Every structure is written in structure tokens, then in C-alpha cells.
Chains A and B, each alone.
Chain A
Amino acid sequence: MRRLAEGGRIDRSQLLNFYFDQRRLQGFAGDTLASALLANGVSIVGRSFKYHRPRGIMAAGPEEPNALVTLGDGALAEPNLRATDIPLQDGLYATSQNRWPSLGFDVGATADMLSRFLPAGFYYKTFMWPGWRYFEPHIRRAAGLGPAPTTVEPDPERYLRRYHHCDVLVIGAGPAGLAAARAAASAGLDVTLVERDVEPGGSLLWRGGTVDGMDADGFIAGLPPLRLLTRATAIGYYDHNAVTVLEHLPPGGPARQRLWQIRARQVVLATGAIERHLVFPNNDRPGVMLADATLHYLRRHAVACGQRAIFVTNNDTAYDAALALAEAGVEIAAVADVRRGADGDAPRRARERGLKVLDGVTALATTGRGRVSAVRIGDIGGGGGRWMEADLVALSGGWTPTVHLHRQAGGTVRWDEGALAFLPDQARQAQRSAGAAAGAVTLAQTLRGGHEAGAAAAAALGAEPSVAAPVAEGCHVAAPRALWQVALPPSAGKQFVDFQNDVTAGDIALAARENYVSVEHLKRYTTLGMATDQGKTSNLPGLAILAETTARPIPEVGTTTFRPPYVAVTMGAVAADAVGEDYQPRRRLPAHDEHVAAGALFEDFGPWPRPAAYLRPGEDLDAAARREARAARAAAVMFDATPLGKIEVFGRDAETFLERIYCTPVAGLKAGRIRYGAMLTEHGVVLDDGVLARLGPDRFLLSPSSGAALRVHRWIEEWRQGEWPDLDVRIANLTHAFACVAVAGPQARAVVARIAPALDLSPAALPHMAFADGVVAGVAARIARVSFTGEVQYEITVPASHGAALWRLVQGFDEITPIGIEAWLRLRVDKGYIHVGSDSDGTSLPGDVGFGPLVARKTGDFVGKRSLLRPDAVRPDREQLVGLVASDPAFVLPVGAQILPGQGVALPVPAIGRVTSACFSEALGHGIALGRLRGGRGRIGDTVEIYHLGRRLTAQVTALPFFDPKGERLHG
């Protein structure tokens, strides 16, 4: 291995230092980590997954199965990256994986010696008693990839997301993609061309050839205007031509990676093909590479991958690599062709130039310490053969078109026996494949196919290319010959199919013997193709061997499913900038700053950070909530109720509409008055409860609960549009347009009288469940009397822009205490008011939670009504809302505790109910709880046993409410 003095697409004036396993090495700008390692003579780059066998670089692209490294360290460490995909940078810090203590000496390699005891499915068969879970952690540690970063620091890098639209998206900037993009762009279309490599050109950059008499650079320079993304890999093809593209940005750019979501009217898939290796004993020794990769490293990076090479091939393409390496001074010991008398132009040229070509033979074994030193070449039947010295064995087992995106897009494939490949057949979306992805072999075919695909995409959009198809010299290609494995006994050595997951031809034969004959079962049993490379090189040989073993044709065996992403994607790129505070949009209370100043402890309720309590020095949440609750019963509290829903429903048929929406009566409500209301799903389940006010004959204001405002708005809008479009009704969600401060307590009236002096607040003029419009602090305000706390309570609503001023105004009174949501929710437990979603769930009907009498007053139809007549809805032992008081009055029952079906019953036993809300009641001086109990309304006064985390408690079932049953305080 050595760096050539000239040639390659590297910049020898830019010397770069980098580290591999703490060893300092040097490369050039234009290198990948893989090419730089090869140039430095690094043969072993990793240990294999299961057997810990030494492995070297095999490929030059994203199909590389062996050369996985961890890049960087600390928070930025990223494991399992392919050295072939990493552009070399100065200071790059890479570490090899899955070896201990070092690459050269790895204790885990004893697994290889024990390997006859470690066949496919070994773990499942062996570690059955007492349970796989005891063995799994140890086995996972032994068979591993790179470790995830253990630091708790967040990833300091930035990731972006971008949405993009174009007429034609061309994926792959090799000769086919360039020709397709050129054709479409020449037709005046908006073309985006994405290329995973650092520069466009694809195989033109290493296989060479001329296009219209020009080299790659000349051809690319003459392209019409288009958008080109490099280091950008299309990773997923979704419905309606949505394609995701992962772009790596250069250091110093706006972000580390950018995930594009591109919607294209037409797509051309010029994704190329991936070369396969050949399957024979010990074919995984470092120094065994793909033939095309050796050419790639030679022409791109001026690296000769060996000094004496043997090529083993079943097709014509390897000859070009052999000739090029010979020209560069590498000794070519032989080209072993499994075919007899291949008559293609390439074999003929190789013979003319004096290369030794052996017919009808293949590699049967390799040997060497650390790296291959000799290979046994013999008859393809597996017999005989002789050892030939070589430090490079270049394999070509044929080409697998990269049909991943075509399959993800719903396209079908067909097996082509001549090409020994699955080729794209029918497309389901507006896409077409071209070039090697569609089975083209020669440059001339590839360019023609690319141009035709670009022209067809343009034609589908009513445009026509203004350029002719680019031309290249054609050549005669001989057909490849199938040789999926060598018929040798297991004692001859492992024949690796999947290098990354250490799956051998023997494993596949074993799986077939055990009747795992479906390719999907084979995959899961042997883990073939399940590694991070997703079997790019191994899937086809694997299924071909399964076909051979089970004597079926390959198309009958079929392929596994191609799922996105095409290459592994960091979670950072998926999350993009939706992290931390930007995870979701946040709502901000108009008086947020005032809450902060008042010592609020915030909790998130949906998008709103809301004060849970206002802490005084030395207080925790519970202490503050208890103090605030006492203040509500003793004096007056103020509560920021801004998130309460405010939905206006208006129009001639507003009352008719709401009568159908609510399960509680709406008709008869007078203007200026408020009613309690609940709505159901069509299943009869309680969806939300709240109040509604009648603003005028044709106008209502709904106040769904804070957490349900948006849901209720959508819900009633869907009914209006979908079921009753004939009704004259309009709906406006004004929740965020107004701020609301609730003032509650025995002294609430006195406080409100001072801020709205012009209003008559006497119980006769403004009784409970009525509202009045007035002026507060010079602003139009609505003052409504409703009560969630059981006290006299006023809700003062002003435009959101005046919310902070209103809060400051009310807070100025001595008798006022700010109250957070924790105490607010405790006060309602005194009154037995349910909190939908806490005290009810997806099975709760209105009768279960005490709304039965209200619902019974309605005669007409409403949403959910018919479901309340089902036999299940009227059985007497439904879970019903009750009060619960623990036998120890100081004790607060734990929410979620289960009610047992009798005293002292043996466990396990089905529960007959549960505690749903609980707190210490400041008004009553003891703990109280709401719960649901089977047939609970008939069990008032009973004592029940409650189970919680191993403890048994007793409690008495009580009627509701606990406090002020006649409502004297609330009406006062």
C-alpha cells in the first residue's frame, strides 16, 4: 500500500494531521478517512461483531461493512460511522470499535475459536433457563458496535431542517444523474440534484471515460443552471414524491447536518449500483476488497491498495480495475474469472496487455497473519487449486442496483437472470430509475438512460430538453456468471456473506435446515442484513444462497422489505432545532412576569407554563397550596384563569346547534345568564365540562376547560361542517384574545366592588351564574359569577393586552392572596366537582360522574345520546363517582390506589374502583378523596378496603359534596 507520487483528486499541498486509535497519521485534503488509512498502511480497522475477527476496509462508499469508527469524543462522539464516508479533516479523531484492549490483540477473538459452538440462533437455543434477560447484558457487551456517548452533556452542535420544492429531483450525480439533470434543466425546469459524495461525477471520477469528448470536469462545467447538493444522501422516499435528504455541512457552516424534506413533481433515481463480494472460505481477511473500490482509491486518492494483487471476478467490470492498477505499478498476479472464455471487450483488452487471466476458477481460501498473504485459486467446483501470493485480493461478485428508493416509493422489481440482479420494474409514483440503478453497465448505456429519464420527467411536465443525449464510446460486455458460494465443507473455513453481522453461508444453510425458508424469517434468525449497513453488499448473496439451498428460483425467494433510512441518521438531525425550549411553541400568560415576581412555581399545562403555587420563603409546593387554599375559604384569592376556553358560537341557529352538542340543557337559558354544561363523544363518553353564557338571542360564549379549549373548538367545528351544514352557525375561538382573573372567597365581592365601582354586584343584581359587562380600570370587561371553588367567585375578562395590568390592579389589595393551580384544584375536591380526565376516563358516561339528572331533562337528540341507551350504559354496577374518607382522618389517600372487592380478600383480585383525586381539605380539617366505585351511589356509608403498593387501608364511602352541600357560601 502506498501513495502514488501523482494523480488522484487530492491536494498534496494541504497536509492534514489526524488520529486513529491515538496514533497520529497524515493525509491530504481530498482524502476520506478510509483512503488516508489505506495510504498509511493501516490494514486492520475493526473487529467483527460476533467473532471479533480482524477486518479491513472493503469498499469505498456507504456499503462499507467493516470500517466502522467512532468519531470525536465526549458529547460529540458519534459511533458506527463508516470511514469511507468521512472526508478527512485536520485534527480528525477516530477510534476503532469492538475490540479490547486493542485492535492488534483482542481478548474477544476467542469467540472465533469457539465459533463452532456459536451458529445462528445459538443464543435463543442455549440461554433459555432461567431466562434470556439474565444473559442478554453480557452477550450484548461481547457482541457490540461502538458505545453511545455516556456524557450527560447535550449535543453542542446545531441541526437544521429545510423544506424544498422543485420540478425534478435527481438523486445521484454520477453519469446517469448528470445526464438526467442536464436534460431536465435544459428544458427550463427547476432541477435539484443531490449527491452523497463530496463532488459530482460519480463513477466518471474513477472509472474514467469521456462524455461528448470531455472528461468529468468538462462535462459538469457545461451543465445548465440547477441546484446541486453534495454530501447529501437521499434517505427516504415517502408518499406523493416526498423525499428526505440528509446533508452534511462543512465545518464552520450554519449547522452540522441539515435534513431536507423535498417535494418534487418528478423524480429520477440515478442511485447507481453496489458491487458484491464473492463468498468463499476466509473471504473476510484484511486485504480482501471489492474490485471497484481498489480502482476508486487509485483514481480518487492516488492510493495503491496493495503491491501484488489477484482479481477474482464473475463479470467484466473488474478487468478495468486490474488494468488500471497494473498501469500504476501494482503487480497483477492474475485475474481469476469464474467464467470460461469470457469474450467481452475488457477481458480481451486485458489479455492483449499481457495480464494473466485464469478461466473457470475462483478463490477457495485465503491465508495470512493480520492481512492476506496468499489466496488459493482453484476450480469453481471447489476442488484442487494452488496457492498464489498476494497482499490484495480484489473481488467482484457482480452488481446490485440500488433500488432502495424505488422500492420505498412502492415500485416493484423483477429478477433479471442475465444481469443477475433485481431491476426496477413498475413505478408507483412519479419517478423513474436510470443508469446502473436500472441495470446499465457501460458508460454509453448509462448516459443514454439518464438522458431519457430526464427527458421523460420533462415530458411529464410538458417540457422538452434542448440538448441531445450525451454520448460515450460503447463496448461489448459479456454476461456475468452466478457463483454464490463455494461447495466446500465447514472445515474449510467460514464463508462470510454479511461481514458486519458475521453471517456465513453455513448460517444460512442451518436456518434453511431448521425451516426458516422465508427470506424475512431467515433475516431475523441469522441477522443477515440487519446491521448498520442494512446488507447493502450481503442481502442478494444471502437470498441467492437460500434459494440454492432450498432449490428455489431467486425471484421466488424474493427480497426483504426496503425501509428508510438508506443510511443511519443521527437523532439530532431528525429533531433538528425542535429541542429544549423550542421543542414546541409555548403560550405565555399576559401576567407571566407578575407571576414570576410573586414567586410562582411554574408547571406546564399543555403549551402554558402556569403558576402551580406562589412560594413564600421556607415553603414547598404543598405548604404553599395549603396556605392558599385556607386564604380562599377565609378571605379572597386571585387566580390567573386566562387559559380557560372562550369560544363564541353565534348565528340564527346557535341555540339549536348547542342543544345538539351539549348533553345538558341549553334551550331556555336567558341572555346574561350562565349554565353548567357537559358534552359527550358519540360513544356517550364525557368529553369536557364547563359553563356557557348566553350573550344575546343568537350568541353564546362557551368556556370549555383550559386543557380542552382547542379540542372542543375542533370538535364542534367538525360537527357543524360535517353533520349540520344547514344550520346558520359560526364558531370563533377567542381563547387567546382575552385574559381572565378569577377572584374568589368571602371577601371577593368587596375586592371586585373597588375595581368596578359602577357595577351593582348585589346578589340580586348579579347572582351566581350570571354575568355583567362593565369597565375595569378603564377597559371594557366582562364580569361573570361562576364558581369552581365553592366560594363567591368573579371571573373578570379583559382583552389580553390588559391582562398584566388587571393582575397588578387586583394584586394591590391587602386581603388578596394569589393562588396557583394546585390549591385551585384542591378546592374543587371539597365540592366534588370532577376534573375530566382525572376523575373520568374513556369509559365514563355522564351518569357515572353525576350528570345523570341534567341529561335526563333533555328530550331532543344530542351527540352521544343514543349510546347512553346501550345495555352496558344502563347496568347498575357501573363505576360511579363517590367521596372517600380514610379511616385515619389525617391521611390523604394516594391517587391511583385500588378499591378491593371486600375486606381482607386474597390478591390478586380485580379491583372494583380506584381513587382519582385526593387532598387534605383545609375547610374540613381532614383528608378527602374522589374515586370511582362499582355501583358506588348505592354504597354510601360503606367501608371499603383500599390497596396501594403493598399497603391495605380502609375508607368510608361518602356522598358528595364534602363541603357546603346547600351552596350557601357560593350563592352568598
Chain B
Amino acid sequence: MLLIDCPWCGPRDEIEFVCGGESHIVRPAPEVDDAAWADYMFMRTNPKGRHAERWGHVHGCGQWFSLVRDTVTHEISAVYRFDQPRPAERD
């Protein structure tokens, strides 16, 4: 049960949010070939470790944002708005 620090509301329980999958996926123009489209649709980094992902505070303020979560420990090392860049990795 994650504790997520919504950039607008502060720390809230995971049940107030939905996860929207990996962040920073660039949507290509429709002219791309099938392989590039499939890459956008289906291919994700799926790391063991830090993962940037989108969460929506749908049962709260309704805002979406990104966070960096460690997929092994669930530690959330950064929370940032869509208009902010992904924070530089520490260590």
C-alpha cells in the first residue's frame, strides 16, 4: 500500500490513485511505420529498479503527475509534475 505524495494534495493513500504506466513515452505522428507504432504502443523499459511512471489522483484533485518508483523496494524517490523534467538520478 503505497503512500504517494501528490504534488497538489500531499501524501495520500494509494487507493486514491490510478497508475497510468510508464512516463515519458513519446507519441509518434500517425505517419510512422507499423514497427514504430508497435514500439510506442507496447514496448516498455520494465526495469528492475527505478521506474518513472504516471499516476492520477483520480479520487482526489484529479491531477496527473509522474513519480520515480523502485520496482523492487517500492521506494518513491521523486514526484514531479508533467511540466517538470525527470529529476537527475542520485547515487
Contacts and interface: CB of A to CB of B under 8 A. Distances in A.
A717 B82 CA distance: 13
A722 B34 contact: no
B88 interface: no
A9 interface: no
Interface residues of B, number: 26
A723 B62 CA distance: 16
Contact of B62 (A428, A682, A717): A717
Q: Which 6 A-B pairs have the closest CB atoms?
A: A242-B1, A240-B3, A866-B30, A238-B1, A721-B64, A239-B74
Contacts of A552: none
B54 interface: yes
Nearest to B30: A866
Interface in A859-900: 861, 865-867, 869-871
Contacts of A241: 3
B74 A867 contact: no
Contacts of B29: 861
Interface string B27-43: 11110101001000100
A722 B53 CA distance: 12
Contact of B82 (A683, A714, A722, A861): A722
Given A714-B56, A723-B27, A870-B34, A239 B62 contact: no
Interface string A705-746: 000000000100110011101000000000000000000000
Nearest to B3: A240
B83 interface: yes
B2 interface: yes
Contacts of B82: 721-722, 725
A240 B2 contact: yes
23 contacts: A239-B3, A239-B14, A239-B74, A240-B2, A240-B74, A240-B76, A241-B3, A242-B1, A261-B1, A410-B73, A682-B41, A714-B18, A714-B56, A717-B56, A718-B20, A718-B64, A722-B20, A722-B82, A865-B30, A866-B28, A866-B30, A867-B41, A870-B34
Most buried by A among B1, B3, B58, B74: B1
Contacts of B13: 263
Interface in A237-285: 238-242, 261, 263
A373 B1 CA distance: 52
B32 A866 contact: yes
A422 B1 CA distance: 27
Nearest to B69: A239
Interface residues of A, number: 25
A718 B62 CA distance: 9
A261 B14 CA distance: 13
A867 B27 contact: no
Interface in A204-261: 238-242, 261
A410 B3 CA distance: 16
B37 to A, nearest CB: 5
Nearest to A725: B82
Given A717-B62, A725-B82, A240 B1 contact: yes
A428 B18 CA distance: 25
Nearest to A238: B1
A410 B73 CA distance: 8
Interface in B59-91: 62-64, 73-74, 76, 82-83
B15 to A, nearest CB: 10
Contacts of A683: 41
Interface in A652-707: 682-683
Contacts of B62: 717
B70 to A, nearest CB: 10
Nearest to B62: A717
Contacts of B18: 714
Contacts of B54: 722
